[in-house]
Amino acid sequence: LKRQRSRLAPPRAGGAAARMDQAHSVEEPLDLIRLSLDERIYVKCRGDRELRGRLHAYDQHLNMVLSEVEEIAYVKEETPGKAEPSVRQTRRGIEMIFVRGDSVILVSPPLRTA
């Protein structure tokens, strides 16, 4: 997976200082993801799944490769005699995973838990 520049983006100015400033600037939405490369991120997915892991690669479709992943799946279980289904959390560790972009709802730095 590699990132492709938008055709609508203006040309960038030259010079080492300008390139350094632009390496840390946000001009397009995917620049926020670029700044998270090799960092831990939080990904909320369809199907009541959450992933926390280190971002290795992504593309314009938000396909991602994550490592050191913790997946949390929320499973609704019907309980006889109760009107509301109970929600059970299932956690598992995954060494490396490919996440298809159409399943991604939200990407952010990992949420801090107390």
Q: What is the pTM of this model?
A: 0.73
CA atoms of 26 and 32, how far apart (whole Å): 6
Q: CA of 106: how far to CAs of 6, 11, 19, 29, 110, in Å?
A: 21, 29, 29, 12, 11
- Quote the distance between the C-alpha of residue 81 and its chain's center: 39
> pLDDT digits over 33-79, tens only?
999 999 999 999 999 999 999 999 999 999 999 999 999 999 998 88
Per-residue pLDDT tens over the stretch 104-114 = 999 998 666 65
From the list 66, 87, 84, 68, the residue with the least C-alpha distance to 76 is 87
What is the per-residue pLDDT for 3?
47
pLDDT class of 5 with cuts at 50, 70, 90: very low
User: Tokens in use for 15?
Assistant: 């010079």
